[in-house]
């Protein structure tokens, strides 16, 4: 039963667990650069992707900076999980044919 003193935030246990897991992931050190956290690399990628280029190749960007495939996969997976929904048709969906 929730405490009558604490405000109800609408969170269930599952969403709290997800936020904690996400925080642990972001606080983790990057194996190839121990002085960086995953959050640092994510912030770097997001800043670089907002420089006005139409498309941004995250894996190539990270390769150019010397990151390993394990780190690249972690960062790309994180970004895909946390991206806002794409307005309009899904650009990754296969094209529909009008037969």
pLDDT digits (tens, 9 = 90+) for 35-65: 999 999 999 998 888 866 667 889 999 999 9
**Contact yes or no for 21/38 (Cβ under 8 A):** no
Residue 44 within a domain? yes
Residue 61 within a domain? yes
Residue 92 within a domain? no
Residue with tokens 């806002």: 84
Total structural domains in the chain? 1
Query: Residue range 14-43: average pLDDT?
Result: 88
Cα–chain-centroid distance for residue 50? 15
Residue 91 within a domain? no
**In the prediction, which pLDDT does 36 show?**
93
E strands, the chain, are 29-30, 33-37
Residue 89 within a domain? no
Residue 10 within a domain? no
**Contact yes or no for 23/40 (Cβ under 8 A):** no
From residue 87, give the alpha-carbon distance in Å to each of 78, 83, 90. Answer: 20, 12, 8
Residue 30 within a domain? yes
The residue segments making up the domain with residue 37 are 15-81
């Amino acid at each position: 039963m929730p405490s009558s003193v604490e405000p109800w935030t609408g969170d269930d246990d599952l969403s709290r667990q997800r936020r904690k897991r996400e925080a642990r992931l972001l606080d983790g050190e990057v194996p190839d650069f121990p002085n960086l956290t995953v959050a640092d690399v994510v912030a770097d990628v997001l800043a670089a992707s907002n420089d006005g280029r139409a498309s941004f190749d995250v894996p190539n960007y990270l390769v150019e900076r010397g990151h390993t495939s394990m780190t690249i996969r972690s960062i790309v997976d994180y970004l895909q999980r946390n991206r806002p929904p794409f307005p309009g048709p899904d650009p990754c969906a296969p094209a529909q044919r009008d037969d």
